């Protein structure tokens, strides 16, 4: 059951990141640099969250 919750959480994170990337790609080249920096920071935070979740799953499987 816990693995299912983690898998669902990962899916939600991936979908959210995809929506953010899609929205980011539709911005014109003169888009707000602060928004781009926030996007990159969120992207890195999500990557770290996924690494953490992967680590938790790996420990649970051992």
Which pLDDT belongs to residue 31?
60
Long-range contacts of residues 44-51, Cβ cutoff 8 Å, at least 24 apart: 46/13, 46/16, 46/17, 49/13, 50/10, 50/13
| pLDDT (tens place) for every residue of the chain, 62 residues total | 578 888 888 888 888 888 888 877 666 555 677 777 888 898 899 889 889 988 988 888 87
Instruction: State the pLDDT at residue 41.
Output: 92
Q: Which residues contact 42 (CB under 8 A, 6 or more apart)?
A: 17, 20
What is the model's pLDDT at position 28?
56
Residues 15, 52 contacting (CB under 8 angstroms): no
């Amino acid at each position: 059951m816990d693995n299912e919750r983690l898998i669902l959480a990962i899916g939600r994170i991936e979908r959210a990141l995809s929506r953010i990337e899609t929205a980011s790609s539709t911005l014109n080249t003169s888009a707000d640099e602060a928004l781009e920096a926030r996007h990159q920071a969120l992207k890195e935070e999500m990557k770290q969250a996924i690494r953490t979740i992967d680590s938790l799953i790996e420990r649970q499987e051992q």
